Chain A
């Protein structure tokens, strides 16, 4: 009898551990797949930016479409926008993406000093929609919003005040992956 109880508890414990391990493993596999696919597309975008000193509008539309297709493929849905979803309505693994195209990039350099004629100037271009000069450095960034696994400890939810907050309890936690690249603009443009 004691052996039976021991075996049952042992099986339960191993099951719990295996569920946790497999859940996290599946999440890591999905996250890694997403990372590789986003990096593939971003490497092509870097080439376009390097050749044009900015991201032309038609190229921006093309990459937007590519990412929407990727999003639909990963989520098994048929969405039409890259807009980041709020946590309360977010049910997808890959739930939003934002470029620094008419947006400011975050979590990256804001100044990169280049010495010109003895003075330090900031050669960093932060908006992909605006054409940079030959010799500037363009930031190419994609901020990807992904679902976070539910296995986390939250101090806020661990007290009554946190549990009573309906939005906090029902929200799907999410996190952001940043893909940031610094691309030198090597296209010689007509002098003005």
Chain B
């Protein structure tokens, strides 16, 4: 009898040990899939958001010119992002212009990506104008009418019409954009033609001058003295485009207008006012669609039901004290709503998303840069010997893409120290500037890589003091102290995930 009891005890203890071991092994086995999912969701979301926030300048372009009421026809398909919003408690997908989304969230501080309703979507679409988007990202929309001499006669009527609509000379840039221009945006410049007004006695003369300035001045905001023409100059020098941040379209009637953006001018600028909501929105959407994978039903209601369940923390497999309802990982609601969205394996806390954009300047025309760049290009072609630094050297002839030697010469990488260069064969310029701006975008958010095993979940519960306090998830360890990482405050719930990408626009 004693021997039987002892054998039973041994079997029970061994089984418990094997159970815990198996649970831990399975957790390690599946964690790689969870991490890959996390990487996939964040990487896709951030890459798409960066590109969309930078390159959607077509919405401000001439072929999508604004109408007199400045609604710009943005109710159509262009620029319409997928947004998740609730309607009477359950959510569904909506289509909303990405700039309308950004403007609406900026105007309503109590609204976030995770508490949008169908009424918010309608309001955002109805009240949105392209001018509002421009003012959110870059600066005020206005026009200077004190320097009509700088405007070609063929366009003066259109500018007069603009002034008649009530636009004034308020063209102040936003704080972010002005800081960008002052610190690095002006570093990339090109030679532009400006008009100079000279007064000799009672006679007025005009002449064309070339100035090496930033293309951003063409946006028409008050970034430099050239944008105001009369300020600080005895000899006014300006350009038609510098005096107005809203431009009359060359096509169609005088009631069509457009704006110039950094992307259209070949300058890299990432407007964080649009980037942050797009990152939040894309993560929200991508996580829900990952939960939808493998769906075989042909019923939209099933799809919506699955995507609805992605809101909030996942249910665990812990039923404490014989309760009939499983614990949730945590009660994660804040003032605005429930910021957690899950893809079935990982929970993303949308309220913790932080974006940072750094800029740096790279001179592609410098000898050092040319070496690096030629090595990059040589990987494409397999031979870097055909590239030369001096414009007058006779390079090894490489029939690159079928071009002739003359064409090849004009497309070489030029040394910015050279005083005379050819620029696409058009003519000589004083100097050629190879500086281009590169933006580094870093996004950081708190994620919860939750345990699937009930045993590990139960152990977490015991450690963290019960349901509703923290997630039953992978914790970050401080490698110096060997304890749970707390950061500046108690930060043991979840781990921080960071992703960095780069973008550069060139012309």
A residues contacting B by CB (< 8 A) are 43, 46-47, 50-51, 107-118, 121, 123, 133-135, 137, 178-184, 186-188, 190-191
Contact = CB atoms under 8 A, between A and B. Distances in A.
A114 B82 contact: yes
Contacts of B289: 137, 181-184
B63 A191 contact: yes
A114 B297 contact: no
A107 B92 CA distance: 22
A137 to B, nearest CB: 7
Interface residues of B, number: 48
A46 B93 CA distance: 20
Contact of B294 (A115, A180, A191): A180
Contacts of A134: 52, 77-81
B15 interface: no
Contacts of B77: 133-135
Contact of A191 (B43, B78, B121, B292): B78
A114 B93 contact: yes
Given A111-B300, A113-B92, 4 more contacts: A50-B48, A112-B303, A115-B118, A117-B75
A109 B297 contact: yes
Contacts, number: 113
Nearest to B64: A191
Contacts of B153: none
Interface string B268-309: 000000000000001001100100111111111001100000
A135 B92 CA distance: 14
A7 B49 CA distance: 71
A180 B82 CA distance: 20
Given A184-B285, A186-B48, A188-B52, A47 B40 contact: yes
Contact of A115 (B61, B92, B98, B298): B92
Contacts of A116: 80, 94-95
A160 to B, nearest CB: 36
Given A115-B95, A186-B52, A135 B293 contact: no
B47 A51 contact: yes
Nearest to B36: A43
Given A111-B300, A116-B94, A182-B295, A191 B58 contact: yes
Contacts of B58: 190-191
B56 interface: yes
B300 A112 contact: yes
Contacts of A50: 44, 48
Nearest to A188: B52
Contacts of B79: 134, 188, 191
